[in-house]
Structure 1
Amino acid sequence: MKQNTLLTIVCCLTVALFGCAGQRAEVSPSQLADQVFSAAAIVTMDDGAPDAEMVAVKAGRILAVGSREEIAPYIDTETKIIDLGSATLVPGFIDPHSHFSHAAGAASWANIAGAPVGTMASIADIIEEMKLQQQRNQSGPGEWVVGFGYDADTLSDGRHINRDDLDAAFPDNPVLLIHVSFHGGVLNSQGFAQINYDENTPTPEGGIIVRRPNSNEPLGLLMETAWFPAISVLPRPQGEARFANLVKAQQHYAANGVTTAQDGLVGYEEFELLKEAAARNDLFLDLVALGSYAEVPKFAAEHTEYKGYQNRLKLGGIKIISDGSPQGKTAFFSEPYLTGGPGGEQNWRGEPMMPVEQFDAVLGAVYAADMQAFVHANADAAIDMLLSAHRTHKANTAEDSRTVVIHSQFVRQDQLQAYAKFGMVPAFFSNHAYYWGDVHVENLGVERAHFLSPMRSATELGLHFTNHSDYMVTPLNPMFTVWSAVNRLSRSGQVIGSNERVTPLQALKAITLDAAFQYFEEDQKGSITVGKLADFAVLNANPLTVEPMDIKDIQVLSTYKEGQQIYAR
């Protein structure tokens, strides 16, 4: 009798709150929700039930999705009702490719990017900002002064900054300006001394050392393998600061609606730090780490334990780098750049990061270890390398291996068809259309530049494609990434490849459901579907219904990981 009375009271409450009518359906106590979310719009990303009014959550998983009447039976007096009002609820964003460790380690670096990421418009601006950073860090003689986001294409000087510019301003400190691509940097004389580079230093295979005219002396800019020594000697945080920085990085990702992040290239020492952070329960986001191709045996030994999440840390696979960056003019093309190489090289096609034979052997080792390959390949000649190596070794990997081709920016149509044949996942980078679309037209011509990140063509082939920020190369903002895929506008307002624009729904899928597919997690994440994790982002507008040009202005109001709020604006 008492139980029936309680049910009657609960039914009356739900009628009052949710407008349901009729007899309340019976559910077992184990099916009563811990939380119920309601919102003006709920974008489920589930084709079977694309819209809903409410979502019921229990123990961090989605219990039910539907109308108010359908969800009412799951509610009792203990259920927490989270009314999001006019906001839009979407699946938590899944980061297909970024560099989490960069976010964790860059607290002491100056932002020397051009607009809109930074405010640098000239070499003088950069030097002034670097001096301010030197003061903020209280850097004494001999201590590094570092900036990130350096991009000569945004400067009014029409040339690269060089060691002479930096030496005049920083005679007593080593200086590194990290190129916006994170594939190179500019050093001053003190910096070159730190890495033992002088006129007798040979250019390493796969690298570029820009030399002073009529001399063999390094002028400042290093790219690809030539800059590795510089990044390796930078001081790193020590002690508890390492873990505090990881927490700050997670907060930044959560503020952007991200519930699963990627650390896109970690050495084994960095992975050990992430393992320690996980053991301390410092991770409140899921973090997918990609091990370096230089240490495959070490990561292969970790694969069994970290193939799935351990305290939110997962070893997603191995990152292999086959070429450089198109904005740095080091991506490897089958046809030359129209404007020469970064050091004035003629008939310059870029170059592979490693010899073809070595690349083939590395991919073979990853497949033999039964690990997923994440291959950085920007341009078509690099993609040809990958496809050739895959054909050689595909018998040693699972049929559904889902090799991820990171960036795939200047893939050809025939290569897209090969992706479809082999079940590969292109991880596109449509932000390039805005940040460097105009530069690509100048360097590559309209035909190649406008086939940048060809999402519409990939859709027509039935490919699962993802889309990313490559943070810190461009800002993390997922809504800007969606906007760039939908509009493909450059800085100057030109449409870079109108035929390759996609719908807002397709663009959103690339950072939710298909991003989950990339990680073999589509049964757990990526859509608001019964049984999946209750990972949500709350937006102040619906990206499917606002004007396409307004998508980039949508803000994240809050973020939930397995039903727990991890960010509130």
Structure 2
Amino acid sequence: MNAPDLVVLADRIHPLDAAGPDHTALAVTGGVISALGTRADVRDWRGNHTEIVELGAATLTPGLVDGHSHPVLGLDLSRGVDLSAVSTIDELVRALRTAPRTGWVTGWGLDPNTFGGAPITSAPLVAALGPDVPAYLTLFDAHSALVSPRALELAGITGPRTFGSGASVVCDAAGHPTGHLLELDAMELVRALLPADDPADRQQRLSDLLRRMAASGYTAANAMDFEGDALDLFRALEDAGSLPMRWRFAPFVMPATSAADLARVLEQQRLCGRRWRVDGAKFMIDGTIDGGTAWLTEPDTHGESVAPFWPDPAEYTAAVHHLAAHGVPTVTHAIGDAGIAHVLDTLTGAPRTPVPHRIEHLEAMPADLLPRFRRLDVTASMQPTHCTHYTRADQSDNWSERLGSERAGRAFRCRDLREQGARLALGSDWPIAPFDPRAILADAQLRRPAGRGDVAPVLPGQALTARMALEGFTTEAATAAGLGDRTGRLRPGFAADLTAFGLDPLTAPPDEFAQAPVLLTVVDGDVVHRAEEVPA
């Protein structure tokens, strides 16, 4: 072979391929893996310009892929004060009182459990800020917001509104808005009034985000939107220098979509750069259990979550079939059992596409739906931290209380899907949950937050093995993207997307692995992250 550009040496290399000899060396030529061998082979491989990276007692794996993220939408969703650590109304009031007062007060990551089962209203905002300050807080699921009375006034919201989706302005018994806005169309009434971010600041924030993701071990990710300035931002970043990760985008298809809207999505499939491309379309068939907007076969304990996000689900089905007939793989957010069943029914009659269709989140799912994923070749895409961060083993959380004990007891069925032969891709859903894959890999095995041995695991029977969890970010993710023949494994001829950890993800205790250093991240054969302790 030609002299490689890069050789990486590590005590353990997990190709995630068929069983073979132990390797301690990997060569890269022209962005492709050109050889696997041992340290003794390097003498024969190296050339005058070969870079040798010795990692010592490290573990090299295929590059990690985030199955579900919102890099551009997340810039909007993570504006203002971080409220993700708030757990009581008193803490919320204190956090808001310290927020900068330059016009609008914004915040994100607010957990509905903060309200302790009481109605979610703007009362804490008024207590913290007074009646005259406009405020907009995004709840952690990004499917709802809490706004102040002044914000409602500025938006002209005085009572209920009718939308062409499952959105709503929550009102009290007298018909007065409480400040709680459910789903995107209702949220947009106020969000549209927020001051625009400076474009240069947005570009810098996105660049910083992508560097931090690469430093956590990601070599690629799936972006579940392509709205607003996404195209401009990614083109600008790539013009300024190579992106540190690969990205696949799926533009939104919303209810009341038109033929022109579908034509636009088809046209967007042609957009691409060196390390990004549009490849798919994103739908939502329902909302969230926490917000009472999921689509369940039976109402939740509040009498809610009984309707789809698309008022006429047949229109959703028609749109999916239209795009699939043109080769576009579809991605559908489906959380409730009725929603999941409808998506599976839709995909039963949909044309197959080169990249498999996929369903996201899959929270409340009865056993009879499990075998249909393998039968239909549909990817199941899940985010373990949705369970471990926002539900509790004793079912005292808002999500479990709304579902009721029986349905909460058969949810987040990661292990059941794998054992039924389904393809299971794992991801973060940033900024809904933190993006660090080390903690997500740990949570998938522990069924509780990494580093929190004092917390009881939620549905421990759904825990993944260490290998299953790693496959969810590598081999399963590659097949889900239609790339299983060129990435996701460490094999000659495959793309040189690599991640090196200070601990072995297959043998280290999960709590310890969650804190393991990421020593090296390589994309296309380019070193995009190198820890300080790794010599250049």
**Who is 1:502 aligned against?**
464
Q: Structure 2 vs 1, CA of residues 99 and 409 (structure 1 numbering), >3 Å: closer, same or farther?
A: same
Contact 1:366 1:372 (8 Å CA) reproduced: yes
Q: Secondary structure at the match of 1:333?
A: coil
Q: Is the 8 A contact 1:163 1:220 kept in 2?
A: yes
Q: More deviation in 404-413 or 203-212?
A: 203-212
After the TM superposition, which residues 379-398 of structure 1 pair with which residues of structure 2 at under 5 Å, given as runs? 379-392=336-349, 394=350, 396-398=351-353
1:125 is aligned with what amino acid? E
Is contact 1:97-1:470 (8 Å) kept?
yes
- Aligned partners of 1:547, 1:85: CA distance in 2, in Å? 20
Please state whether the residue corresponding to 1:221 is helix, strand or coil: strand
Which of 110, 115, 120 in structure 1 is aligned with 2:81?
Answer: 110
Change (3 A) 1:107 1:495: closer
Tell me if 1:167 matches 2:126: yes
Residue 457 (structure 1) shift: 2.1
Corresponding residue number in structure 2 for 1:132: 98
Structure 2: tracts of 5 or more residues without a match: 255-260, 532-536
Aligned residues: 514
- Counterpart mapping for 1:232-243 below 5 A: 232-243=192-203
Q: Deviations over 1:165-222 (max 9, x none)?
A: 323414443211101000001011121123321125446641233223x311111111
2:441–2:510: 8 Å Cα contact kept in structure 1? Answer: no
Is the Cα contact below 8 Å between 1:104 and 1:249 reproduced in 2? no
Of 290, 293, 299, the match for 1:336: 299
Task: Establish whether residue 36 from structure 1 lines up as the match of residue 7 from structure 2.
Answer: yes
1:300 maps to what in 2?
266
Q: 2:310 aligns with which of 345, 349, 354?
A: 354
Paired residue type of 2:124? D
Rounded Cα–Cα distance in structure 2 between residues aligned with 1:536 and 1:451: 36
What residue is the counterpart of 1:9 in the other structure? none
Q: Offset at 1:442?
A: 3.2
SS where residue 97 of structure 1 aligns?
Answer: strand
Distance 1:401 1:107 in 2: 31
User: 1:44–1:51: 8 Å Cα contact kept in structure 2?
Assistant: no
Calculate percent identity across the aligned residue pairs.
24
Contact residue 327 and residue 436 of structure 1 kept, 8 A: no
More helix by share: 1
Establish whether residue 428 from structure 1 lines up as the match of residue 382 from structure 2.
yes
Q: What displacement does 1:159 show?
A: 3.1
Q: Kindly provide the CA deviation profile for residues 130-185 of structure 1, in whole angstroms up to 9, marking residues without a partner as x.
A: 343324xxx1xxx3221110112145x55355223323414443211101000001
Q: Does the CA contact (< 8 Å) of 2:6 and 2:27 recur in 1?
A: yes
Structure 1: unaligned runs, 5 residues or longer? 1-27, 341-345
Given that 1:430 and 1:452 are in contact with CA atoms closer than 8 Å, whether structure 2 keeps it comes out as: no
Q: 2:67 aligns with which of 92, 96, 99?
A: 96
Q: 1:564 pairs with 509, 517, 526, which one?
A: 526
User: Counterpart in 1 of 2:480?
Assistant: 518
* Alpha-carbon separation, structure 1, partners of 2:73 and 2:66: 15
Shift of 1:357: 2.1
Mapping for residues 51-450 of structure 1, pairs under 5 Å: 51-105=22-76, 108-113=79-84, 118=85, 120-135=86-101, 139=102, 143-154=103-114, 158-160=117-119, 162-168=121-127, 169-199=129-159, 201-202=161-162, 205-212=165-172, 214-224=173-183, 225-267=185-227, 269-281=229-241, 283-294=243-254, 295-303=261-269, 305-306=270-271, 309-337=272-300, 339-340=301-302, 346=303, 348-355=304-311, 356-392=313-349, 394=350, 396-398=351-353, 401-438=355-392, 439=397, 440-450=399-409
Q: Give 1:255 shift.
A: 2.1
Corresponding position of 1:10: none
CA distance in 2, matches of 1:368, 1:300: 11
Aligned partners of 1:288 and 1:162: how far apart in 2? 37
1:530 equivalent in alignment to 2:487:
no
Offset of residue 475 of structure 1: 0.4
SS of the residue corresponding to residue 82 of structure 1 reads strand
The 5 A counterparts of 1:477-496 are: 477-489=436-448, 493-496=455-458
- Point out the structure with max Rg over C-alpha: 1
Contact 1:259 1:286 (C-alpha < 8 Å) held by counterparts:
yes
CA displacement at 1:369 relative to structure 2: 2.9
Bigger mean CA offset, 349-358 vs 482-491: 482-491
User: What SS is found at the alignment partner of 2:319?
Assistant: helix
Return the alpha-carbon distance in structure 1 between the equivalents of residues 218 and 111 of structure 2: 27
1:58, distance to aligned residue in structure 2 (A): 1.4
Deviates more, 1:441-450 or 1:381-390: 441-450
CA gap of 1:476–1:443, structure 2 versus 1, over 3 A, is same
Q: Distance in 1 between matches of 2:429 and 2:406?
A: 24
Letter in 1 for 2:460: S
Match of 2:410 among 451, 455, 469: 451
Q: Distance in 1 between matches of 2:356 and 2:429?
A: 20
Distance in 1 separating the partners of 2:334 and 2:500: 34
Tell whether the 8 Å contact from 1:401 to 1:423 is kept in structure 2 after alignment: no
Amino acid at match of 1:378: I
SS of structure 1 residue aligned to 2:72: helix
Q: Is the 8 A contact 2:160 2:169 kept in 1?
A: no
More displaced 10-residue stretch of structure 1: 196-205 or 38-47: 196-205
The CA distance in 2 between the partners of 1:379 and 1:158, in whole Å, is 21
In 2, Cα distance between the equivalents of 1:410 and 1:50?
Answer: 42
The 3 A distance-change label for structure 1 pair 203 and 56 is closer
Distance 1:47 1:233 in 2: 55
Per-residue CA deviation, residues 63-112 of structure 1 (Å, 9 max, x unaligned), is 11122234442123432210112222222211110111144446642101
**With structure 1 as the length reference, what TM-score do the two structures score?**
0.84
Contact map agreement 2:87 2:113 (CA 8 A) in 1: no
Measured against aligned partners, the alpha-carbon deviations of 1:11-35 in whole angstroms (never above 9, x if no partner) come to xxxxxxxxxxxxxxxxx5xx21122
Return the alpha-carbon distance in structure 1 between the equivalents of residues 365 and 100 of structure 2.
42
Distance (whole Å) between structure 2 residues aligned to residue 444 and residue 206 of structure 1: 19
Aligned 1:22-33 pairs, distance under 5 A: 28=1, 31-33=2-4
Following the alignment from structure 1 to structure 2, what is the Cα–Cα distance between the partners of residues 334 and 551?
A: 39
Tell me, what secondary structure is at the counterpart of 2:327? coil
